[in-house]
A and B are shown apart, each in its own frame.
Chain A
Amino acid sequence: MTRAVEAIGPDTSLVEAARFMRDESIGFLPVLEEGRLVGVITDRDITVRATADALDAQSTRVGSVMTKPVVTISESESIYEADALMERHTIRRLVVLDGRGALCGVLSLDDLAVLPDREKDSMVEP
């Protein structure tokens, strides 16, 4: 998984979110409100929920187009479980939480794809 992930607040405008995604070269952001995970937003969410409906990107906030609830996984879960969870929800990324429920990373389908088969039985974190 990717650690030290960037996050964004729900009151951020879509223009700012778009700039942030461009400048950081990312397409997926956990949305945090006072440290609490309240949603996730992707570049695609912005396209199909805002641009497609002709919403104004300057006044529309991340909180109104983000995806919630978020599918999360604990960092102590197996890769096998992560794979099953992605398949069940037909998503490509999982927000990974630590033992206290705080954001600790993002696991993507691409992360799983580059993993040798024998390691897929091991843990997210050894």
Chain B
Amino acid sequence: MTVGDLCTREVVVTDGDLPIQDAARLMRDRHVGNVVLVERRPDGSAVPKGVITDRDLVVGVLALDLEHIAGLKVRDMVTAPVVTSKADVSLAEAIATMTANGVRRLPVVDSSGALVGILTADDVYEALAEQLSLVASVATYQQRRERRSRK
């Protein structure tokens, strides 16, 4: 199972010129907690440059009590280089990337670096829970088989 199999394919994207108020509106209207800042290439594909979350808008903007919030753009919010994951790597590798960088979400890119999805900690939980319940069902099956064979 690869990151490409598990990630969410629908990603809300924006270029850097979006005012942060509009980013907040986008998060509300599209029911997402993050927007990926992308740069368009001539072929139309999008390269992730940053991730901005609902929390970033609170602790990174409101907490500063700035005079001119209305003039702030998404570009101004993105400071650290974005941490991404390739689509063809394993779930374990993506978890290691999250852990090493302390991030809960990874924009997922193809071999050319174009955005194809986003993997969040929630996606990881879901995948792991599914695998755990599979392992649990093996144990139950084994017990049943053992009871049968010992009769």
Contact = CB atoms under 8 A, between A and B. Distances in A.
Contacts of B58: 18, 21-22, 43, 46-47, 51
Contacts of A50: 62
B62 A54 contact: no
A53 to B, nearest CB: 8
Interface in B123-151: 125, 129, 132-133, 136
B62 A117 contact: no
Given A57-B69, A117-B132, A46 B25 contact: no
Interface of A is mostly: helix
Q: Most chain-A Cβ atoms within 10 A of its Cβ — which of B27, B62, B133?
A: B62
Given A48-B24, A52-B25, A113-B129, A57 B62 contact: yes
Nearest to A48: B28
A44 B125 contact: no
A18 B63 contact: yes
Given A18-B58, A21-B59, A117 B24 contact: no
Interface residues of B, number: 23
Contact of A15 (B63, B70, B125): B63
Interface in A22-57: 22, 27, 43-44, 46-52, 54, 57
A42 to B, nearest CB: 8
Contacts of B33: 44
B8 interface: no
Contacts of A52: 21, 24-25, 27-28
Interface of B: 20-21, 24-25, 27-28, 33, 54-55, 57-59, 61-63, 65, 69-70, 125, 129, 132-133, 136
When A and B form their complex, which 6 residue pairs have the shortest distance between CB atoms, in order from nearest?
A48-B28, A22-B59, A18-B62, A51-B24, A52-B24, A18-B63
